[in-house]
Amino acid sequence: YDASENSSLVFAALFTLMLPATASYAIVVTGVVVAVLVGKHAFGGAGSYPFHPAALGYAVVTVSWPDQIFRYPTPFTHVGLWDTSTATLEDASSHILRTGGVPNIPSLDLTLGNYAGPMGATFVLVILAVALYLLLRRRISLELPLAFLATSALISVLFPRVATAGTFELMKYELLSGALLYAAVFMLCEPTTAPKNRLARVAYGVLAGFLTMMFRYYGAYELGVCFALLLANAFSGYLDRVCSKAAFQRRSKSL
């Protein structure tokens, strides 16, 4: 145990903020235990885990409690600290897209997070502000989230889930629902699970974006980005080796 290494707190927060505010404490505890003890420490601790711990914790509670995970309190409704049974719940915009409909959320509310969704994944302005801070501090790289979001946007345009919706409107809801932007900033760029080579990072972002949209289109759960991220993690090392080898061969030929 290293008291100066606090990534477990980060993973616990990342996991918890993807839950609805009405999630039971049993879900929170189970997910954090899986993320920290199984996802991180079982593989050797900091810097050794092959899969994102927070994504693993979320995948486990999603399979275990799907009825609670995808129902969110209506904005500005009262949620009790211990008893949440009186809270008014509704489906998220990702569920509406999944069932063939188009959400009707004003752009301002969509930006400010005034709609039903995960606790920390709806306030776009805060997520973008933190992303800018992390970029300036060089804690994340720009190519990863850009490749991820561009791939997701391209698939939503070329293969729309709702053919009657406008292209821009549908792409807006696809990118700002289902914790897509949240995962692009806070989970995709995890240095331990992401490739180190720049070209590999781009390929990794494209792969993660493609898998995310496939899980959205054909998966059993609305928020498929965590499952897509876990699958993309398995290819991270391979992409690093392939792209590093290709770069080395190009340099050798130029010499």
> CA separation (Å) from 82 to 15, 30, 70, 78, 123?
20, 17, 19, 12, 25
Average pLDDT, the chain: 89
Q: Which residue has the tokens 């060089």?
A: 138
Bigger pLDDT: 162 or 50?
50
Residues contacting residue 252 through CB under 8 Å, at least 6 positions apart: none
Comparing 69-73, 149-153, 161-165, 229-233, which segment has the lowest mean pLDDT?
161-165
pTM: 0.89
pLDDT at 45 over 80: yes
pLDDT at 254 over 70: no
Left (φ > 0), alpha (ψ -120 to 50) or beta: where does 41 sit? alpha
Contact of 188 with 208, CB cutoff 8 Å: yes
Residue 72: what are its φ and ψ, rounded to 5°? -120, 145
Query: What is the arithmetic mean of pLDDT over 152-166?
Result: 85
pLDDT at 154 over 90: yes
For the chain, give the percent of residues with pLDDT over 70: 96
**Band (204; pLDDT cuts 50, 70, 90):** very high
Instruction: Tell me the two tokens of residue 198.
Output: 């720049």
